[in-house]
Every structure is written in C-alpha cells, then in structure tokens.
Structure 1
Amino acid sequence: MSLVASLVLPSLVLPSSFLPSVPRPAGRRIPRVLAIAGSDPSGGAGIQADLKSIAAHGGYGMAAITALTAQNTRGVSAVHVPPASFLTAQLDALSEDIGIDAVKIGMLGDATVIAAVRAWLEQARPGVVVLDPVMVATSGDRLLRETAEAALHALLPLADLVTPNLAELAILLREPAAADWAEALDQGKRLAALTGTTVLVKGGHLGRSAGGDYPSNNNNDDDGCPDALVNTAGLLGQETVVVTGGRVPTRNSHGTGCSLSSALATVQARVGDWEAALREVKPWLAGALRTSDRLDVGTGNGPVHHFHHVQHLTEDQGGTGQVNTGHRVPDEGEFTAALGNSAAADLDAIYGLAFIQGLADGTLAEKDFAYYLAQDALYLNGYSRVLARAAAIAPSEAEQLFWARSAQQCLEVESELHRNWLSTRAVEVQLGPVTKSYVDHLLAATVSGSYGVLIAAALPCFWLYAEVGATLHAQFLAAGAPEGHPYAEWLRTYADEDFAAATRQAIALTDQAARRASASERDAMAVAFRQSARYEVEFFDAPRLHA
C-alpha cells in the first residue's frame, strides 16, 4: 500500500488466485458470540451458518435454537417451533455460566418466542446485539407468522444493529419493497428513526429477478451491490455510511443474511466500530459468494463458502499441482510462493482501479492523489510501530537490524511526504476508515506473540506495493517518460534498487519464519497475509470512496 518513496522493488510475478480474509483477534480475548436462531439441516443458513461465520471471524460460537426447519437448498417444507419456555431454559443456562460478548438474533418463529428473547435481553443486557429480522427467506418462503410481526417490531429498539433484507425492510414499514437504492436508503432512515437503532440497508437484492439471475446494474450505484449503515441519532458520525461493492454472479446465496449478521456481531465485539466491522466483513462475504461453487452442495440456491479464506495455502487450487503439506515443514521458498499465488487476484483488482489507471496515465485528480498521500503518511506512522515490534521480537540480530532499519525508513518517508508535498497544499490529514482498519489489523498482529504472524501481516506492504509500483514505472518508461506527467517524479522512485533488495529480504525472512513455525502458526501467517493483501486493494481505492 504505502508509497514508500525511498523503497521499491522490481516486478514480482504473483500468479494464481487470492481470496480475502478476516483477521483473527490476535492477542485479545476471543469474542464469545451467541446466535439465537432457527436450525437449517442443510447447513447453509440459520444456526449452522451463524456458527460457521462466527468461527470464520475468530469468535467462539454458541447457539440457542428457536425453531427446527425441514429445508434444503430448494426451500423450506416445514417449521416446528419448540415451547418458548425451552428457549428461555437454553438462554438462562448459557448466561448463568458464560460471559457473552455479542448476540446475533435470527429466526424467531412466533410471538411467544420473541417475548422470551426480549425478556432475556432486558435481563442479560449483552454488549452487542445484532437482530436479523428473519421474515422471508431468499427462496421467498415465509419464516415468521404474520401475527408475530408486531412483537418483532417492538424488539427492534433493543438491538444495536438491525439487518433486514429489502423485503423485510418493507414489511417492517408496512410498505412495498424499494425499487431502487435511493428508495431503500429512505426506508432505512425511516426505520432507524422509528426504532432509534442503526439499520443496515442491503443492496444485494436490487435488480435481481425472482429466478436468481443477476442482470446489469440498475440501482444507481456504480458498484452494483452497496450496503449502508444508517443511524439518525448521530451514533455513526454521519447519518448514512455507504460501503460499495461488486455484485457476485452466483445462485449460491443461501444463508447470506444469516452469515453477514453473525459475522458483523463477531467483528463488532472485537473492534467496536460498525463501519470498520462492515468494511471487514463485506469483502469476506464477497469471497464466500465467489467461491461457493467449490462446495457443490444441493441443486437449488446453494450455501456460501464460509471458510474460503482459511484453506491450506498448499492445497491444489485450479490445477496448480500443489499438495497439502499438513504438518510437513515446507521446502525453502514453498510457503512464500504459495502466498504469492494467493495474491494474484488482489493485484488484478488493484490494476483495475480508477486510481491506479489515472496515476499511470497522469489523469488522476490532484485531490485524490493528495488524499492518498495524506492517508499514506498516517499509515506509515502506524506501520513503523509494527516494524519496530518485529525488530524487538526477531530471533536473530540480522533480522532485528533489518526490521529496525525498515521502521526508521517509514518515519523518514512520512516526514518527507509532509515536507515536500502535503505541507505545500491544503490537504485534510484525518485518519480514514480504511487506513484505520488496516493499521488496527497490523497492530493486532503485534500482540499475537508470533513473530511469523507479525511479519506475514506486514509483508504485503512490501510485496504488493512493490509489484504495482514496478509495473507503473515500466509503463511510464514504455510511454517514453512523457514530459508534463504530473506524477513523473513519484513514478521514477520505482527504479530504486534499495526497495527491491528490502522486499526480497522481507520475503525471505517470512519464508524462514514459516519453516520454523508449527502448522497452525503457518495457517495464521497465511490468514494475516491475506487480510493485509485485501487491505492493499481497499487502500488504493480509498480516494474514490472518500470523494
């Protein structure tokens, strides 16, 4: 990510595919998350999806069953709601023994069940409550009795976040479903004002036909699948926070709402910021949708792939011929080669960004470049602390010196950015949400106690940035290094061999750490690397989101 003007690397080809991931709550208490929802025997939605999502985001999942369903990927054929007294017994047994950091509430079934949940919430007062008002399944099946709608509506003010789909949002307001994004946002604002809570407005169903096809975007959002956090009480800093995203062309969306809400509950318990939680969870869910075909479950609307981001790096993916090493110590260069393979899709995403294309051809607006550099300076300050920590716990003197020098260079570059560019322009230097999320992820790695995890998390700022930089510099030279290019001086920094050597050494040190690590620690290193690589993409795209 960081535009480290004094450090750069020649092009490193990173083939294969990359899937975004989510950071583990390294060094912090694992969030204890309770899902109160119905059961799905097919495993794709309900409690089963909740527990997978919670685990995928590093939480400890618990479950209180509200209803039993007979369903598969083609629909729901029967629903059985046990006595509400039994649900109360489940909830009391849990809260009498286990601290609960967050609660996700899904399918409730009828008014007596809703009353039981409400009474327990008022007594237990969990710190984070996410309510997914399950009323209508993706298949169109009705999952809440109409006689219970008033009771559910009265439950909404007890939630910190409500996550209805568009059909449910309309039912809660007793209105027709929104026809476009603007109308959906308006409905979200009115529900937020009515209930006094935060509402997540989800654009996934906009422009989608009943048959599950995904036509070209017609919802007035450039990215096709936006989500927005809405709060009219001033809790978000601004009334509406929109997080854009691309539409994933797949029929396998069974349990998407359950998975999203339980993931948000887990991450919110860790980071304490709804916007940061959504920005972390949304790329993970997109990856879960993109890779859903790998599961090959059912003949209808299949489930998402909750654990796409934690598959072993060395398993065969797309005919690469790689095999799972299990507990075997990888050969020299094998682990980082797999990391490189995993990052190719992120590089493709970076090259497709308008920011990168405008930077390459000189058409990038100066205000966007200024915002980027301001965020870069803030990032480098945090990144230097991460590298300093790596120096402190490195196992050898040579490694200590390498990371310490890298930390010093980060601070020098930050100062240089302020002196030579930012100080001469009226630039807003305020920590942006993507920068904050990325730095928080890296700082979490500093308290993990694992040197390998820490340097794996730090590696994409060397490696991916270097790859992008080298490519842009090569394009600049191929175009004849045109005079008048507004970013020519910046692009020329990519010829610096010092960063080439530094990046090669960072890769080598990460590979050495992986060979010393246990199998579980290598898995954690892979997860940390993947999340940082995903943040690299978001960082390059941050100026567009800020505009």
Structure 2
Amino acid sequence: MSAPVTGPVPTLTATPRVLSIAGTDPTGGAGIQADLKSIAANGGYGMAVVTALVAQNTRGVRSVHTPPTGFLREQLDAVSDDVETDAVKIGMLGAPGIIAEVSGWLRRVRPPIVVLDPVMVATSGDRLLTPEAEQALRDLLPLAGLVTPNVPELAVLAGAGPARDWDEVVRQALEVSGRWGVRVLAKGGHLAGDEVSDALVDAGATDPVRRLDAPRVHTSSTHGTGCSLSSAVATWQVVTGDWFASIDRSKRWLTESLRHGEELNVGQGHGPVSHFAGLWERGGRDTSTGDEWWQRIDGLRRATDADPFLTGLADGTLAGKAFRYYLAQDAHYLEGYAGVLSRLGQLADDPVERAFWVAAATACVTTESNLHRTWLGASERPAPGPATHEYLGHLRQAVETGYGQGVAAVLPCYWMYADIGHRLAPRAAGNPYAEWIATYADPLFQYATQQARSITDRVAGAASPPLREEMWRAFERSAQLEREFFAAAL
C-alpha cells in the first residue's frame, strides 16, 4: 500500500493537537462542534477550520452557507503558520473548489496524521455532493492515512450499491483500499443485528482485515456518531501510533458515549451522543471495560437470577440439604480461589494491587471460611463436584496465562455475588438464609468488589486489543461457571 502524504513526525506534546476541518452544527451534536468535544474527551486539544455554516438540528439540515475558498485558505494558513499540528480530521467539504483548497494545503503542510470522514450521503439517503465533488473527494483519498465511511458512503466510494451484509462491506472496503492506497475503517452500524462490527481494512497489509465487535447500543441518540468516531481516532493515533489500537480505544469510548446519550435530553429528533459521559462519571478518560462486559452478560445474569437455587434463597424455600451441599462445594472453591488470588498478588507490579490480592486471599481462608464452619458440620464435606473442578481449573489456567486474564477471570466471583447480595438482602430479611446473603451485601465486600473492578478496568485500558479480547473471554467463561456452580446444588 502506498503511504499517505506526510511530513516529518513532530515532537509530541503531552496533549495531541488535532485540527478539525469541517462544517458546523449549531445544536452541537455533529460537525466541528462534535469534533471538538470528541478530541477533548479523548485527551486532545482541538482546533477548527470551518468549511461550511450549516443550519441544522437533530431533525435535519435546513440550509448550508459556504464561505469563499479564499477565506478557507486564510483559516488553514492561520493555523499552520502558528501551531504545529499532530493530526487532522477532515469532515464536510461540499464542493470541488473546497476539496481542491484542502488538498493543496495538505500537500504544502504535510500533517503526519490525516483522517478523512467522507460526508457524502444524508441520513435520508440523498447524495450531498455533485458528481464532480464526489470525484474530487475520491482524489483526496491517497492523502489520508485513514478514511471512515459509513455503509452508504463506502458504496459511493466503491461505485456500487449499499452493502447489505458484512461480507459485502468488507469487499467494498478492500476495493477502496486497494484502488486508492488508503486504510479504510469499515463500519457496520447501518447493518441489522444486536452486534456491531467494524474493521480496519488495509489491502496492502499482511493481515488486510482486522475486525472489532461490540454490542449494539439501542438508542435514538446517534446524531454525529461518524464525526465523533473519526475525531477520536485521529486523537488516539497521535498517542498510540497504531491504527487498530486507536480504532479500538475510540470505538469503546463511542459505545459508552452512545449508551448515555439519551440522558442529555437534547432535541426532538436523533439526539447527540454524550461525549463526556465517562469523564463526568469517573473523572478520567479511560473507558470502563468492566461495564461493557457486564452489559454483554446481561442474558446470563438474568438466567442466573431465575435459577431455582437463587429464587429459593431469596424467599427462604430452598431445601437445607441443597444449601449445605452448595456451601460444602463453596468451601472447596474458596480454598482454591485463595490460591489464585495469592498468585495474582505475586504477579502484580503495582504495590497497591499486590496488597489488595494478598488481603483478598487471606479473607477467603479466614473470614469466609469461618462462615462455612458455622453452617457446616465437620462430616458434611463431600468431594469437589464437577462444577467446582471446572471453575477452579479455569481460574488457575487464566492466572497462569497472565495477570490480565487472571484479574478478569476472578472478577465475576466478586461482581456477581456483590450484585446478588445487594439485591437479595432486602427480600431475604428473616428467612433462614438471610445471614449468608448479608455477607455479600456487606459494605466491605461491596467496596472490595469496586476495587477489583477498578483494577480490571486499569489493566484492560492499557491492554492491546488481542489481550483485552482474551480478558473478556476469561471474564465471560467465569460468569458462565458461576451460573453452573449455583445450579449444581440442585
């Protein structure tokens, strides 16, 4: 693949300096306004050159005013004459003259990172550019490091009809990548399904299609998602230098922002995403991987809630024999779990995390084991059952694979029990199992769960996409085994 037009790599500041070249949105959800929010939310300093003044809102575009190309040139030169720019994101251009002006500036200034979001098709499906402008935009592609079309825009670039399935999206992206020598972020948001696929497509690479999947966020707040994603990718690329890692981080941030968009209550049409939801919630820009995983096991959690073992615990109707069998298996489990936690303590580089895992291992052997001795007689100690063997085997394998896989694997035991304890304790008051349930509703256990979640989020946030996928698989398998562990008692 031919390289994009770039200049010398600048000496990076702590904050990426990212320029958006795009049109406006007075309601703030798309265009330059969304770009600036996205850049800031992902840790960059945003700058803006306006290509068009757009009268639009969440329900549609009313009119467009295009300033003279001479004024566009003055804006571009005003930035590049003064500020060393680390990355450029290009959005709405609109006309051949504007595209030519931006193209000339790129060739003169040679910014090191260029992300092109080809605004070509309206939400209604109407084409926004004349045939001449469409061709001029295609000619701009080799100057970009990455182009981020949605499904209809990709079809225009490929000279084909809109793709109807993921395989066709990938074929069109490979066609565009190969023809113009540009990486393509193929996006599947316009396709049906509960999971959304995106992929970094590079026809000239050894691995030409690198895919990322995420659960679809069912929301009406989708205004400006393309603008927001492309700006985030440009910002992260300054930091990572790896297009796939930048897309992965940006996609996770956008998923979180989509999930909170409706809380903004902006507009009567398709509202904007909540660009700063993570910042407002956590006071930092790393997304919560654990929250995403928790949402992905929603069906499994609901099935666990409906299990006769848990419903019997909640209403006090569970047979005592079944509960004692469960506790005996849990005693075996806690002995093994303590060993896994102790091993995490050995693997942890951070002294605070090391201390947390060592203390957690001790708690398994002392505090929680005392609870089992209170409930179980000395003779009530059946051998470990198949579910116990399988769960402990999974945890031991995960922790020996690596620290990331280990912390992800142990998290469901914390989180699912804390969630069950929190929700069942009020319903179980006065029944025979209230004391056991209260153990997991205790504020100290809830706090320990929060610490385990924070550690997992930190490790996942710093992990490569392949490692984070391994962590997710370890987390998911542990959640499944928790479900089977409960069910084994009956």
- Structure-1-length-normalised TM-score: 0.57
CA distance in 1, matches of 2:468, 2:276: 21
1:284 aligns with 2:261: no
Q: 2:202 aligns with which of 223, 226, 231?
A: 231
Superposition pairs of residues 138-177 of structure 1, within 5 angstroms:
138-177=123-162
Deviation at 1:105, TM superposition (A): 0.4
Counterpart for residue 172 of structure 2: 187
Q: Deviation string for 1:73-115 (max 9, x for gaps)?
A: 1111111111122112111111121121111100001111111
Superposition pairs of residues 52-201 of structure 1, within 5 angstroms:
52-201=37-186
Question: Are residues 353 and 161 of structure 1, via their aligned partners in 2, closer, same or farther at CA, if it must alter by over 3 Å?
Answer: farther
Counterpart for residue 348 of structure 2: 384
CA distance in 2, matches of 1:532, 1:465: 20
1:257 aligns with 2:226: yes
Question: Are residues 232 and 102 of structure 1, via their aligned partners in 2, closer, same or farther at CA, if it must alter by over 3 Å?
Answer: same
Question: Are residues 121 and 381 of structure 1, via their aligned partners in 2, closer, same or farther at CA, if it must alter by over 3 Å?
Answer: farther
Deviation at 1:530, TM superposition (A): 10
Q: Secondary structure at the match of 2:40?
A: helix
Letter in 1 for 2:162: A
Deviation at 1:307, TM superposition (A): 1.3
Say if 2:187 and 2:197, in contact at 8 Å, map to a contact too.
yes
Question: Are residues 99 and 462 of structure 1, via their aligned partners in 2, closer, same or farther at CA, if it must alter by over 3 Å?
Answer: farther
Report the aligned-residue RMSD. 4.8
Question: Are residues 241 and 150 of structure 1, via their aligned partners in 2, closer, same or farther at CA, if it must alter by over 3 Å?
Answer: same
CA distance in 2, matches of 1:382, 1:182: 45
Say if 1:353 and 1:541, in contact at 8 Å, map to a contact too.
no
Q: Secondary structure at the match of 1:79?
A: strand
Say if 1:138 and 1:254, in contact at 8 Å, map to a contact too.
no
Counterpart for residue 452 of structure 1: none
Letter in 1 for 2:279: V
Q: Secondary structure at the match of 1:70?
A: strand
Say if 1:229 and 1:241, in contact at 8 Å, map to a contact too.
yes
Q: 2:294 aligns with which of 337, 347, 363?
A: 347
CA distance in 2, matches of 1:503, 1:544: 19
Counterpart for residue 240 of structure 2: 271
CA distance in 1, matches of 2:152, 2:291: 37
Deviation at 1:252, TM superposition (A): 2.0
Counterpart for residue 487 of structure 2: none
Counterpart for residue 432 of structure 2: none
Say if 1:162 and 1:197, in contact at 8 Å, map to a contact too.
yes
Question: Are residues 504 and 185 of structure 1, via their aligned partners in 2, closer, same or farther at CA, if it must alter by over 3 Å?
Answer: same
Deviation at 1:42, TM superposition (A): 1.5
1:304 aligns with 2:273: yes
CA distance in 2, matches of 1:538, 1:530: 9
Q: Secondary structure at the match of 2:235?
A: helix
- In terms of fraction of residues, the more helix-rich structure is 2
Deviation at 1:142, TM superposition (A): 3.9
Percent identity, please: 44
CA distance in 1, matches of 2:29, 2:453: 36
Q: Which has the higher contact order (CA 8 A, sep 6+)?
A: 1
Q: Secondary structure at the match of 2:55?
A: strand
Q: Deviation string for 1:420-477 (max 9, x for gaps)?
A: 869xxxx9x899xxx6xx99xxxxxxxxxxxxxxxxxxxx8699455158689x9xxx
Question: Are residues 313 and 544 of structure 1, via their aligned partners in 2, closer, same or farther at CA, if it must alter by over 3 Å?
Answer: closer
CA distance in 1, matches of 2:228, 2:444: 43
Question: Are residues 383 and 158 of structure 1, via their aligned partners in 2, closer, same or farther at CA, if it must alter by over 3 Å?
Answer: farther
CA distance in 2, matches of 1:229, 1:342: 21
Letter in 1 for 2:414: E
Say if 2:408 and 2:472, in contact at 8 Å, map to a contact too.
no
Say if 2:22 and 2:90, in contact at 8 Å, map to a contact too.
yes
Superposition pairs of residues 6-85 of structure 1, within 5 angstroms:
29-85=14-70
Question: Are residues 382 and 80 of structure 1, via their aligned partners in 2, closer, same or farther at CA, if it must alter by over 3 Å?
Answer: farther
Tell me the number of residue pairs that the alignment of Structure 1 and Structure 2 aligns.
372
More displaced stretch, 301-310 vs 536-545: 536-545
Counterpart for residue 402 of structure 1: 355
CA distance in 1, matches of 2:82, 2:126: 36
Say if 1:102 and 1:127, in contact at 8 Å, map to a contact too.
yes
Unaligned 5+ residue runs, structure 1? 1-26, 208-216, 218-222, 315-340, 358-375, 392-400, 410-416, 440-459, 475-499, 512-524
Question: Are residues 184 and 468 of structure 1, via their aligned partners in 2, closer, same or farther at CA, if it must alter by over 3 Å?
Answer: same
CA distance in 2, matches of 1:185, 1:504: 45
Deviation at 1:295, TM superposition (A): 1.4
Unaligned 5+ residue runs, structure 2? 1-11, 305-339, 363-392, 422-442, 477-490
Say if 2:16 and 2:86, in contact at 8 Å, map to a contact too.
yes
Counterpart for residue 5 of structure 1: none
- Structure-2-length-normalised TM-score: 0.64
Deviation at 1:158, TM superposition (A): 0.8
Deviation at 1:231, TM superposition (A): 0.3
Deviation at 1:540, TM superposition (A): 3.9
Letter in 2 for 1:242: R
Say if 1:107 and 1:133, in contact at 8 Å, map to a contact too.
yes
Q: Secondary structure at the match of 2:50?
A: strand
Say if 1:349 and 1:537, in contact at 8 Å, map to a contact too.
no
CA distance in 1, matches of 2:452, 2:255: 32
Letter in 2 for 1:112: G
CA distance in 2, matches of 1:43, 1:83: 23
Question: Are residues 63 and 421 of structure 1, via their aligned partners in 2, closer, same or farther at CA, if it must alter by over 3 Å?
Answer: closer
Letter in 2 for 1:228: A
Say if 2:23 and 2:51, in contact at 8 Å, map to a contact too.
yes
CA distance in 1, matches of 2:266, 2:141: 34
